[in-house]
Amino acid sequence: MGAAVDVPFCADALAGSDIADPCHVQINRLEHDNEKIGYDVSSARGWMEHIEQCDGQLYGVGAYTVIRCDASYTKHTCNWKIWGLDFHTSRLWSSYRMLIESLGSDFDENTDEKEITRRTVRVINALLDEATLSLLEESMEDIHQLDLEDEHLTRTLMLTVLWTPSRKDADFKESESTQPIIVRGHAIFAGASRAQNCKEDSLPSPIAACIAVPSDPTAEEMSLLPHRHRNDSCLQIQSTHFVGAMAKISSWCRSRRPLEDSNRFKVPGSGVGEVLLVGRARNRAFDGKQNFIDSLEVLEGLITNFFVIYKDGTVRTAPLPKVLPGFVRHLVLDVVNEVQELVLDDLAPTVQDAKDGLWSEVFVTSAIKIIVPVNRVLIPPTGGMESITLWQSDCRELSDYPFTQLIRSELIKRGGDGAHSLKR
């Protein structure tokens, strides 16, 4: 069955903007492009960068998370499945605490966790209500065109929640404010509608990935590249403040831009869909330029977690606290522990292992796309040499990724741990 016409929906939400009515959630529909402000706020990234630009690094940088919400709908009803709501809320708390402590203050233990969580749920529900209206109002033509009067369509919503400090938290001064955390949300559909009977667990097309190493391969030059893990996991948001790699902080949207240089890491025509952050492998010292790259371990992508299945059945992904504890990463680890043919290791995959031909299957994970197979890992031009292929998959068809397919199928079965139902 073909895909339906795209539904042009994008909205953001702000909870409790009026202290007199903390239960109020303000919803705004967003245009897909706004030349006046210089950011495409229809993307969650552009939206967060715009907030940082407007409110500054003290008030505009916050902890955020991206939640996958799957809609199953007809022309009359819409039911939602939310992936990992409790996990995302818990990580928001830990990320926000690390952010506040990085700014030179102790986290306010008197913060009303239940109230902030309730406000977050209100923002999520308000955005789901707005998305439901969009689906039911604008998708009737799609349902008619696809002859699905008695069937359901499905659609995935990318929902971003952002917590930023209020003046009280950012200035560390007493205040009568009852809202120490400002809760915002952003939602946009990811992909087109499709019939519910379409196979949901099929693998997407493989992508290439490129490791982030400097053109002059030295440890000193490496330190100048943006990293979430500098100095044992650090993301710089100001010249003197750092947040660990386990925190999901919105300033990374801006900081990572040099790693997305289309002439350096994402070279046009290379098929590169993700850039991989690297660091020094355990028990491997940087020894000049000759073996600098060989001494690296692969940590994570700019917006993904990174996994390698070795030819002997070992599965490796960089351990905490070197990387972000992603929701899908968490699910993958559970699945791997249940597959008899696979053994989970606590070491990160290394460049040397790839060169030695030990890698078998490679994939990246994210909240929205779940699992995406990787068919090539590239090393960008370094030391005057052209870009080279570090590793290339032997798989020619999607069916040649057996363990990646198995893991994805299991994730689809157990993905949503909560449901939000709306009927119109």
In a domain, 358, yes or no: yes
- C-alpha 91/C-alpha 326 separation (Å) is 9
pLDDT score at 34:
55
In a domain, 42, yes or no: yes
pLDDT score at 305:
98
What is the number of residues in the chain? 424
CA distances 53 to 63, 69, 112, 168, Å, are 16, 28, 28, 20
Query: Based on the domain organization, do 243 and 367 belong to the same domain?
Result: yes
- Which backbone phi and psi does 153 adopt, to 5 degrees? -105, 160
pLDDT score at 8:
60
Q: What is the largest CA-CA distance in the chain?
A: 66
Query: Based on the domain organization, do 16 and 61 belong to the same domain?
Result: yes
Range of the domain at 367: 207-414
Query: Based on the domain organization, do 242 and 363 belong to the same domain?
Result: yes
In a domain, 102, yes or no: yes
- C-alpha 206/C-alpha 364 separation (Å) is 10
The predicted model scores a pTM of 0.89
DSSP symbol at 249:
B
Query: Based on the domain organization, do 57 and 184 belong to the same domain?
Result: yes
How many CB atoms lie under 10 A from the CB of residue 33? 11
Domain final residue, candidates 139, 170, 198? 198
Query: Based on the domain organization, do 168 and 280 belong to the same domain?
Result: no
Identify whether the C-beta of residue 55 lies closer than 8 Å to the C-beta of residue 121: no
One pLDDT digit (tens) per residue for the chain, 424 residues: 334 434 468 888 888 655 456 678 988 888 755 555 567 888 999 999 999 999 998 889 999 999 999 998 887 788 999 999 999 999 999 999 999 888 776 666 667 788 889 999 999 999 999 999 888 876 655 555 555 555 778 899 999 999 998 876 555 444 444 457 899 999 999 987 777 766 666 889 999 999 999 998 888 888 888 888 754 334 555 444 568 899 999 999 999 999 998 888 987 778 899 999 999 876 655 555 557 888 899 999 999 999 999 999 999 999 999 999 999 999 999 999 999 999 999 999 999 999 999 999 999 999 999 999 999 999 998 877 888 999 999 888 878 899 999 999 999 887 654 444 444 4
Name residue 392's amino acid. Q
Query: Based on the domain organization, do 52 and 171 belong to the same domain?
Result: yes
* Cα dihedral 272, 278, 282, 287 sign: positive
Helical residues (DSSP H) of 164-317, grouped into ranges: 167-171, 219-222, 252-255
In a domain, 4, yes or no: no
Query: Based on the domain organization, do 154 and 279 belong to the same domain?
Result: no
In a domain, 419, yes or no: no
pLDDT score at 389:
94
pLDDT score at 166:
83
Query: Based on the domain organization, do 38 and 122 belong to the same domain?
Result: yes
Number of H helices, E strands in the chain: 10, 18
Query: Based on the domain organization, do 230 and 134 belong to the same domain?
Result: no
For the domain that residue 264 is a member of, what is the CATH number? 3.20.10.10
Name residue 344's amino acid. L
pLDDT score at 369:
94
Instruction: Give how far the C-alpha of residue 242 lies from the chain's centroid of Cα atoms, to the nearest Å.
Output: 20
In a domain, 157, yes or no: yes
- Which backbone phi and psi does 380 adopt, to 5 degrees? -70, 170
Query: Which of 256, 305, 255, 243 is CA-nearest to residue 96?
Result: 243
Query: Based on the domain organization, do 123 and 61 belong to the same domain?
Result: yes
Strands 207-211 and 272-280: parallel
DSSP symbol at 205:
P
In a domain, 424, yes or no: no
Residue 17: burial class (beta carbons within 10 Å; 0-12, 13-18, 19+): middle
The three-point CA angle 372-158-331 to 5° equals 50
Query: Based on the domain organization, do 167 and 300 belong to the same domain?
Result: no
Instruction: Give how far the C-alpha of residue 328 lies from the chain's centroid of Cα atoms, to the nearest Å.
Output: 10
In a domain, 289, yes or no: yes
Domain final residue, candidates 198, 224, 242? 198
Residue 171: burial class (beta carbons within 10 Å; 0-12, 13-18, 19+): middle
Query: How many independent structural domains does the chain possess?
Result: 2
Identify whether the C-beta of residue 190 lies closer than 8 Å to the C-beta of residue 368: yes
Residue 264: burial class (beta carbons within 10 Å; 0-12, 13-18, 19+): middle
- Which backbone phi and psi does 231 adopt, to 5 degrees? 55, 55
Provide the token pair at 255.
Answer: 């900081």
**What beta strand segments (E) does 230-311 contain?**
235-238, 241-243, 272-280, 296-301, 305-310
Domain final residue, candidates 158, 179, 198? 198
pLDDT score at 383:
78
Query: Based on the domain organization, do 224 and 171 belong to the same domain?
Result: no
